Structure 1
Amino acid sequence: MLHLARENPRWGHRRIQGELVRLGHRIAPSTVWKILHAAGLDPAPRRTGPTWREFLTTQAEGIIAADFFHLDTITGRRLYALAFLEHRTRTLHITGVTAHPTAQWATQQARNLASDLGSRVESLRFLLRDRDSKYTASFDAVFEAEEMDVLLSAPQAPRMNAHCERVIGTIRREVLDHVLIMNEAHAGRVLAAYQDHYNRHRPHRSREQRPPDAQEQPWGVHDFKARKLVRTRVLGGVINEYRYAS
């Protein structure tokens, strides 16, 4: 009974009693109420709403998140990039790099993303972003035109956009901490190369170690001794990719 209540926070005591009866347990609604009350669970029809983590999990297929991150060149010039991450597939989109991230620039990146997504944008229902002033009404309008709702994270609450924060940390650890960025054009090439690696090759635990672009694991190799292992150096060897030669 308590297991049902915790797994279904929107069920009231009568809904739980009905499920138990369907399973063959003859129990009175009042008894269900007393047990829930004794366990500290409010038996009201909606005890609590879903947590933010539960919401992100259940709605993952329809969420794309956005976040800015910065990087510095060897001359000390600060650049900014805008990243989007599709929650369901973990597909990464780094839409551009600039030294002057204006609201107009951000809106253009949103338009570029919508164009790149093509028909895939129809599967998205929510844009998750923070309250940065560069996200203006025109930025939101790009996504609202695709019938998406804009979700705002709370002020100074990076965990509410945890997936984007995590991928930005990954970009830093795997690339930016190991590459000297020369200028804006160089930053764009480096991030584009990493995006390609991330989407096409890098395994993800949440996807059973598949990269975002892979629908299934390539389990076709059986005779490993007869196949030659090939290494591909990405960004001059900062990242290595491995595959068996065909």
Structure 2
Amino acid sequence: MKAEGGNPAALASQSSAPKRRRSPKTDPRLVAEIRRLRILHPNLGKDKLHVLLRPWCAEKGIALPSVSTLGRIIARAPDKMRHSPARLDARGRPKPMQRSRKPRKPKGVATTALQCLAVDTIERVRDGLKRYLVTFIDPASAFALAVALPSKATRHTQAALAAVLDLLPQKPQVLLSDNGSEFEAGFAQTLTEQQIARWYTYPKTPKMNAHAERFNRTIQESFVDYHEDLLFTDLARFNQKLAEWLVFYNAERPHHRLGQQPPLSFLLQHQPQCQRWWTHTEP
């Protein structure tokens, strides 16, 4: 305080961090060897590097760093010692590959009724013949729709998506799906035209689309298993029966997580516009 001329502000706590920080001293040969291994085996992790460096360090008389120290050595490098794959352009010059990153479902995000639509497919096989069901469900209200398809070609899934969007009282803001090819091409084009955002699940992570997976189980155990013959012999008749079951599922079947209400009752309570839509729905 005296050095500051009696200013009381000098008594306030200040940072005690050192003005000069020590920089770690790492043997350049070790850094070069780590880089060589990361180029030879792209993006090799610190745990595996620790094992591979052990005989090399013993031969060179260099102390083997710990796994965490190896991680810090890699992190301090300006390029993180990453070796990006490259292709050659028309003139033979290296051109880095551009990886497209798919938008993933954010963690811990809870959607409101009809804000998100989760989609998935079910495959059934009998005597070498395949049939598919594409299922749609609103995770918030459990309102669900489904249709059986002769194949999972995008022309079929695109038509199913268009029909579902026509049936919904409001357009969803986002669609959640896995990375299946049936949800690309024309299917993705419809989403773009309708200005519906897209969330992808991570590969082999069905729990990211848990509501769709649970509905897939329900529809198979409650309906498909009892009408499988129609699925393979008369697809139109199967879809007619399926529509009748979906009316029961959405309008009458109690749902535990909705307080034993059916999805439509839940929607009528939480989405005022659904009341106008419901009165215009033909029986």
Cα pair 2:258 2:266 within 8 Å, conserved: no
Deviation string 1:125-151 (CA, Å, 9 cap, x unpaired) is: 210001111111431232233332100
Alignment correspondent of 2:118:
65
Q: Which moved more, 1:179-188 or 1:154-163?
A: 179-188
Alignment correspondent of 1:39:
none
Cα distance in 1 for partners of 2:238, 2:188 equals 26
Cα distance in 2 for partners of 1:150, 1:85 equals 15
The equivalent position to 2:253 in structure 1, one of 194, 197, 202, is 202
Structure-to-structure mapping, 1:169-208, within 5 angstroms: 169-182=217-230, 183=233, 184-208=235-259
Cα distance in 2 for partners of 1:116, 1:97 equals 17
Cα distance in 2 for partners of 1:128, 1:216 equals 20
Which residues of structure 2 form unaligned runs of 5+? 1-104, 269-283
Cα pair 1:202 1:211 within 8 Å, conserved: yes
Cα distance in 1 for partners of 2:161, 2:123 equals 18
Sort the Cα spacing of 1:216 and 1:137 in 2 relative to 1 into closer, same or farther, 3 A. closer
The structural deviation recorded for 1:176 is: 2.2
Deviation string 1:176-225 (CA, Å, 9 cap, x unpaired) is: 233342321232123212211110111111211100111499xxxxxxxx
Amino acid at match of 1:190: K
TM-score of the two chains, using structure 1 as the length reference:
0.59
TM-score of the two chains, using structure 2 as the length reference:
0.51
Sort the Cα spacing of 1:208 and 1:216 in 2 relative to 1 into closer, same or farther, 3 A. farther
Structure-to-structure mapping, 1:113-124, within 5 angstroms: 113-117=164-168, 119-121=169-171, 124=172
In proportion to residue count, which structure has more strand? 1
Cα distance in 2 for partners of 1:72, 1:190 equals 20
Moved >6 Å (runs of 4+): none
Amino acid at match of 2:261: R
The answer as to 2:135 corresponding to 1:87 is: no
Cα pair 2:227 2:238 within 8 Å, conserved: no
How many residues of Structure 1 are paired with residues of Structure 2 in the alignment? 160
Cα pair 1:144 1:150 within 8 Å, conserved: no
What CA RMSD, in Å, does the superposition of the two structures yield over aligned residues?
A: 2.4
Which residues of structure 1 form unaligned runs of 5+? 1-50, 218-246
